[in-house]
Each structure stands twice: as structure tokens, then as C-alpha cells.
Amino acid sequence: MILEPVKPFRSCEYAVKTTTEAWEYRAARTLRQTVFCQEQRLFEDNDDDAHDHHAITIVALAYVAGGPEEVVGTVRIHSDRPGIWYGSRLAVARGYRRDAHLGSALIRLAVGHARALGCESFFAQVQAANEALFQRLHWRTLRYQTLHGLEHALMRADLSHYPPLPEGRLPLLTRARRAS
């Protein structure tokens, strides 16, 4: 008897939104730990920093049977002076990468929501391996820098490509109807 390998289940429907529930926030923090501590080893066992005290956390939720089931992506946005905003800790769970454009959708909501909150310039320290992804999404590199032992590009979003998103959520995404 030949047994076919069973493909892992992956949702076809996703919501990308600012966190409103405690479990969403907790799951986003767990995903960050998994990606930045265990997978990338950028931090030993904790990637928290001072921005977490005031940042807005955004999540990508996988939907099952019409309801939210799991946090499969996250990013946070923060501002240190009027008009100047940053995005950081962008992560998509391993099995969901390059699949439903979740990373692009998280970036779209991050910048769009910051714009709705008065953002005039939006920056991120982007791992050099992801620079091409951000360039495709209308970001420009300003300079390079080594952070946590890894080359990063300081990049700036072209805000003309990011309409303000005051509601802090995107319409539901499906694999068939991609995000960018």
C-alpha cells in the first residue's frame, strides 16, 4: 500500500488587523519569540524592548470555519515624535510565508494605519535579505547598518502608495485574492 504524504492544513482566509483581544497580542508575542529568538537567533530568549510599552501590534489571523483560529503573522508600529513612525518585528509563521501575501498585507496596514494616526514619514530597519520585498512595495533604502550581527537596510516607505487606514483592519484576504 502506498501512503500519500498528508499536506499540513493551511487556512484560505485571513484577517489583518490591529490587536483588540488579549489572546491575539499574546500569540503575536509568541510568534515573535519563535521567529526572532529560535529561528533567526537574533535575540537569546526574549525580543522585547522599550517600544513594546507604546507600540500598536498588528496581526494576521488565519480563519477556520468563518472565525479566527490562529495568529500567523505580526508587525508593530510606533512613533517617537510627531509625524515620524517606525515598523518593526515583522514576522509571518514559517508555513504561511510566500503563500497569501501576508507579509505585504501586514506592511500595508502598518503604514496605512500610521498614516491615519498622523504619520508623515515611515521607516523600518529591514533585514538585507528582505530588501527586495520592500522595494517591490515602494520603499527606498537610505543606508545600511549592522544590527544584532545582521546587515539591515534603513528604508523609508513612499506614502503615496499607502492610503490611510483609520479602521485598523484590511478586508478579509483569501489566497485567491492576494494582498498587494
Ligand X SMILES: CC(C)(COP(=O)(O)OP(=O)(O)OC[C@H]1O[C@@H](n2cnc3c(N)ncnc32)[C@H](O)[C@@H]1OP(=O)(O)O)[C@@H](O)C(=O)NCCC(=O)NCCS
CA dihedral 139, 126, 23, 97 (to 10 degrees): 80
Asked if 129 touches ligand X (CB under 6 A), the answer is yes
Give CA angle at 36 (166, 73), nearest 5°.
Answer: 35
Among 37, 130, 154, 172, binds ligand X (CB under 6 A): 130
The answer to whether 98 contacts ligand X (rule: CB under 6 A) is yes
Q: Which stretch binds ligand X (CB under 6 A): 1-9, 43-51, 100-108, 161-169?
A: 100-108
Q: Decide: is 147 part of the binding site for ligand X (CB under 6 A).
A: no
Q: Is the CB of 118 or the CB of 177 nearer to ligand X?
A: 177
CA-wise closest residue to 137 among 116, 118, 111, 114: 111
Nearer to ligand X, 103 or 112 (CB): 103
In terms of CB distance, is 26 or 136 closer to ligand X?
Answer: 136
Residue 82 Cβ vs ligand X, minimum distance, rounded to whole Å = 25
C-beta of 2: minimal distance to ligand X in Å?
32
Question: 73 forms bridges with which residues in the sheet?
Answer: 60, 92
CA-to-CA dists, residue 90 to 8, 10, 32, 85, angstroms = 23, 20, 8, 15
Q: What is the dihedral of CA 149, 150, 151, 156, to 10 degrees?
A: -110
Query: Interface with ligand X includes 133 (CB under 6 A)?
Result: yes
Nearest in space to 27 (alpha carbons), one of 66, 80, 68: 68
Interaction of residue 142 with ligand X, rule CB under 6 A: no
Nearer to ligand X (CB atom), residue 116 or residue 129:
129
